């Protein structure tokens, strides 16, 4: 994975989870054939109530960001366009459904894998899994909706 991440092409993105944000999590997503991959290392203070486990909200954040960035990258792919070509394509989250299957350790690198499950007009349904230590700890479904970026990036 030496190529640039999806997020590296979208310099206007200031998202706390995946954008140019000095206080943010800075996740990075890449295509791996027909799914997208993100490897990320939490900070130990991103804990749930008991120490040692990753906070459920941080999990929601990285799944949301990785999935929405995958939906955006998929729109560019469908249009056979480079990720930094104009006009900008943007998607937002309509819904986020997470099933926490197992506690996720906070001190290990995590892998997110996302895949487009359905695509219909402006909507993209993404399936995303969080994997820690070879175990799927969270399973998620994210509904992304393509929006007019001019209304968001003023």
The encoded tokens of residue 70 equal 């995958």
Residue 21, CB-side half-sphere exposure with 13 Å CA sphere? 13
State in angstroms the smallest separation of the CB of 153 from its own copies: 5
Please report the sign of the dihedral spanned by the C-alpha atoms of residue 64, residue 116, residue 120, residue 101: negative
Please tell me whether residue 121 binds its own copies under the rule CB under 8 A.
Answer: no
State in angstroms the smallest separation of the CB of 33 from its own copies: 26
Residue the block writes with tokens 């930094």: 84
Among 9, 28, 56, 77, the residue binding its own copies under the rule CB under 8 A is 56
If DSSP codes are grouped into helix, strand and coil, which group holds residue 111?
A: strand
Binding site for its own copies (CB under 8 A): 10, 12-19, 21-24, 43, 45-51, 53, 55-58, 60-62, 64-65, 90, 92-100, 103, 152-154
């Amino acid at each position: 994975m030496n190529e640039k991440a999806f997020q590296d092409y979208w310099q206007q993105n200031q998202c706390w989870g995946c954008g140019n944000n000095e206080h943010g999590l800075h996740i990075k997503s890449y295509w791996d054939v027909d799914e997208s991959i993100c490897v990320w290392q939490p900070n130990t203070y991103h804990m749930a109530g008991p120490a040692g486990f990753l906070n459920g909200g941080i999990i929601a954040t990285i799944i949301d960001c990785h999935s929405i960035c995958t939906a955006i990258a998929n729109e560019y792919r469908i249009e056979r366009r480079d990720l930094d070509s104009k006009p900008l394509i943007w998607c937002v989250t309509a819904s986020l459904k997470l099933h926490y299957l197992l506690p996720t350790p906070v001190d290990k690198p995590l892998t997110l894998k996302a895949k487009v499950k359905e695509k219909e007009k402006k909507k993209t349904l993404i399936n995303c899994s969080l994997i820690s230590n070879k175990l799927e700890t969270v399973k998620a479904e994210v509904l992304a909706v393509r929006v007019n970026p001019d209304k968001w990036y003023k």
